Amino acid sequence: MRITACWVGKTQNAHLRSLLSEYLERLNHLATIVVAEVPDLSKRRGLRGAALLTAERTEIERALPQGCQKVLLDERGRQFNSPEFARWLESEQIRGARETAFIIGGPEGVDPRLLNQAYLRMSLGPMTWTHEMARVLLLEQLYRALTILRNIPYHK
C-alpha cells in the first residue's frame, strides 16, 4: 500500500519538522509514503470562508494520487487505539487498497465536498492538537501501526 500524508501549509516549528523527518525516514523502511504539502491559501488576500475551503479542496485534490482512498482527520471521526489502527490498515491492504491518503485540512476546516468524499473520518483523540502536532502524531501512529503489523519492537 502506498500512503500519502497531505496537509495544508508548511510546518513552521523546526522541532516538529525534525520529528516529521525522523518518522518519514523510519516509515520509508516499512512502506512507500509521500508527503504532499499544499499551500496555506488563508494568507492570500480575499480568500475567506467558503471560498477559502473550496480553493484548499482544489489544491488538496490536485496533490492526491488519482483514485486514492481518502482518510480525513476530523475531530468528530472514528477513534482507534494503536492496535485497532494497525488492524484497520492491514484489513485495507488485504481488501486491496493500493493508495491511501491521510488528509489534514487547514485551520478553517475542510470543504464539505471533501468531507463527503472521505472513505473514513479519523480522529486522533478527544483532545485538540495544533495542525503541526497532528502531522507528527499521524506519522508516528502510521509508524507504530506498521511496527505492530511486522512484530518490530517499538510499540510497547
Helical segments of the chain, H only: 14-27, 49-63, 82-95, 112-117, 131-149
Phi and psi angles of residue 98, each rounded to the nearest 5 degrees, phi first: -95, -35
Strand arrangement of the beta sheet that strand 69-79 belongs to? 32-38, 2-8, 99-104, 69-79, 120-123
Is residue 109 predicted with pLDDT exceeding 60?
yes
Could you state, in order of their start, the residue ranges of all structural domains in the chain? Answer: 2-149
Is residue 156 predicted with pLDDT exceeding 60?
no
pTM of this structure: 0.94
Distance CA 40, CA 73 (A): 17
CATH superfamily of 2-149: SPOUT methyltransferase, trefoil knot domain (3.40.1280.10)
Condensed to tens digits (0 to 9), the pLDDT of residues 24-79 reads 999 999 999 999 999 998 877 678 899 999 999 999 999 999 999 999 999 999 99
